[in-house]
Amino acid sequence: MIDVNGQVAFLTGAAEGLGRTVATELAAAGMRLALMDVQAEKLERATRELREGGAEVLPIVVDLADADATRRAAEEALDHYGTPRALIHNAALLREVSMLDVTFENWRRETDIILQAAFVLSKAVWPGMTEARSGSIVYVSSGSALGGFVKETAYTPGKHGQEGLMKVLALEGRPYNVAVNTISTGRPIDTPMSDSHYTDEMRIGIVPPSTLAPAFAFLAGIDADFATGHRFNAYQVSEAIRVARQRAGR
């Protein structure tokens, strides 16, 4: 485990939902942040709140469905901070549309945000992380990365693709001590995404995103010699951290 205090994290989808909470957790751990999101106003608000709490934040408004814009966003973050300790790709878009109705453009947009951006951002930080022989890349996964769900014609293939990319990069990153993992939420989380898509049945066991946040600060501080090529469960990891802290009296 690396002490992440003063270290840099690039985090996507940070304007609201899980990403917003993870940004707070990383800032509380002392990390300096490059936050990427397509929602300019919400990202500005998040930046202001985090800065008021003492965090160092570089906000980058970017549509992660656009490969060139994503590349430019990564370059901006790299120019500002240099190679980050952690890249957490959390942004995603879920639109439930059946195969009969989905358009190619909609299919591309969702898969590009989830999978193409994972590739473009990882590619951008890879030379620096491998040279440093240290770093952690995390893709936020889902039950949709393992199973299929009706009307998730793009989200599910995107999440499956992230798991595949993680497995390849974990193998290639291991000799350089760069950790590449995915993390599923482990529980439905109360966010704008679940608000607009989840049925009552799907909301059973729902938790606030803050419940899952400790797992992200933990994974930001690992290298491949600790764990790579894994699919973590954010709920379980966060619970384990909470129990460990309680036992340590913290």
Ligand X SMILES: NC(=O)c1ccc[n+]([C@@H]2O[C@H](COP(=O)([O-])OP(=O)(O)OC[C@H]3O[C@@H](n4cnc5c(N)ncnc54)[C@H](O)[C@@H]3O)[C@@H](O)[C@H]2O)c1
Smaller CB separation from ligand X, 56 or 63: 63
Beta strands in the chain (DSSP E): 8-12, 32-37, 57-61, 86-89, 135-140, 178-184, 231-233
Ramachandran category for residue 133: left, alpha or beta (phi over 0 → left; psi -120 to 50 → alpha): left
Smaller CB separation from ligand X, 120 or 193: 193
Q: Using the rule CB under 6 A, is 163 a contact of ligand X?
A: no
Q: Using the rule CB under 6 A, is 50 a contact of ligand X?
A: no
Q: Per-residue contact track with ligand X, 95 to 124, x per CB under 6 A?
A: ------------------x-----------
Smaller CB separation from ligand X, 5 or 196: 196
Smaller CB separation from ligand X, 122 or 191: 191
Q: Using the rule CB under 6 A, is 158 a contact of ligand X?
A: no
Smaller CB separation from ligand X, 39 or 236: 39
Q: Using the rule CB under 6 A, is 188 a contact of ligand X?
A: yes
> Which residue of 63, 76, 163, 239 would you call a contact of ligand X, by CB under 6 A?
63
List Cα–Cα distances, 13 to 88, 91, 149, 176, in angstroms. Answer: 9, 4, 23, 28
Give me the sign of the Cα torsion angle 10, 13, 16, 21.
negative
Smaller CB separation from ligand X, 45 or 174: 45
Q: How many residues bind ligand X (CB under 6 A)?
A: 27
List binders of ligand X among 3-42 (CB under 6 A).
Answer: 13, 15-19, 37-39
**Smallest distance, Å, CB 82 to ligand X?**
23
CA distance 90 to 28: 18
Burial 217-245 (b: 16+ CB within 10 A, else e): bbbbbbbbeeebbbebbbbebbbeeeeee
List Cα–Cα distances, 52 to 27, 190, 249, in angstroms. Answer: 11, 25, 29
Q: Tell me, what DSSP letter sits at residue 38?
A: S
Site for ligand X, rule CB under 6 A: 13, 15-19, 37-39, 62-65, 90-93, 113, 140, 142, 185, 188-189, 191-194
